[in-house]
Amino acid sequence: MSKPSVAILGLGIMGSGMAGRLVSAGFPLTVYNRNREKCAPLVKQGATAVTTPREAAARSEIIISMVANDEASHSIWLGEQGALAGTTVNSLLIECSTLSAGWIHELASNAARHRCRFLDAPVTGTRPHAASGELTFLVGGSAADVVAAQPVFSVMGRETIHLGPNGSGALMKLVNNFVCGVQAASLAEALRFIEASDLDRVKALSILTSGAPGSGIVKRVADRVVNNDFAPNFALRWMAKDLSYALQEASARDVALTTVTAARSIFETAVDEGYGDEDFSAVSKFSSRSNQ
């Protein structure tokens, strides 16, 4: 069977890896990015680059967005020359960005008015997982649409988890990321405590990572600290954004996320101090240098 035509809107750290997987697998791929230079490597592999999201959607049966935040998603779908204006009836729209559930519901309503199918399908994983096709998709939408999206999900990821109706994927991704953010902020404060106590940092981190606190996130952040490597796989500013979205959604449900409030403060201060474009693990670098 012929593969469906696909568009990827947004070629950042994650979108570029996802697009690379699709074009390598032989999907007819159209790509759009505000910075056209990011399209060039994919064009060399056989993708077609266009100048507007609308044009990308008009060429594609499945349209996937992977952008920074609600504002960027609104612009790429509903802005001037936005993708929704270029869709045809029954197009499958997939929003893979980490966004607020409120915006996801609004976007789903707009998709329905255009007689399109819609999934919110944010992912877990970072740059290397996107490049190697090892993402996990957390999906909200109808079961039939999840099945229709599986040919592309299976190329870009190792697992697809259908969580319920539209908005379910977005909410689960915020829960996932706030737990990650709280752990990273906690380790950052632990590092400050360790350094203030004149403990051996390498030995202390080894104890933490090999013992009960040694979650995947704690190990990942500790490894970055030990190697002084903060090249972004997931930028610190986007973790700050995700924590804000989690607080917003929890507040709407009368849930107080007190640990998230504290973690967001740490991340936002780290952004203010100039670490926003580094990997989110750089929150440890900020916290270890503050209050000295």
- Dihedral sign computed on CA atoms, order 247, 253, 259, 262: positive
Q: What is the 3-state secondary structure (H, E, C) of the chain?
A: CCCCCEEEECCCHHHHHHHHHHHHCCCCEEEECCCHHHHHHHHHHCCEECCCHHHHHHCCCEEEECCCCHHHHHHHHHCCCCHHHHCCCCCEEEECCCCCHHHHHHHHHHHHHCCCEEEECCEECCHHHHHHCCEEEEEECCHHHHHHHHHHHHHHEEEEEEEECCCHHHHHHHHHHHHHHHHHHHHHHHHHHHHHCCCCHHHHHHHHHHCCCCCHHHHHHHHHHHHCCCCCCCEHHHHHHHHHHHHHHHHHCCCCCHHHHHHHHHHHHHHHHHHCCCEHHHHHHHHHHCCC
Is 173 an annotated catalytic residue?
yes
Catalytic member of 38, 173, 241, 285: 173
Q: Hunting for tokens 């007819």 — which residue is that?
A: 28
Residue 130, both tokens: 């996107």
Longest dimension (CA), the chain: 65
- Return the active site residues: 173
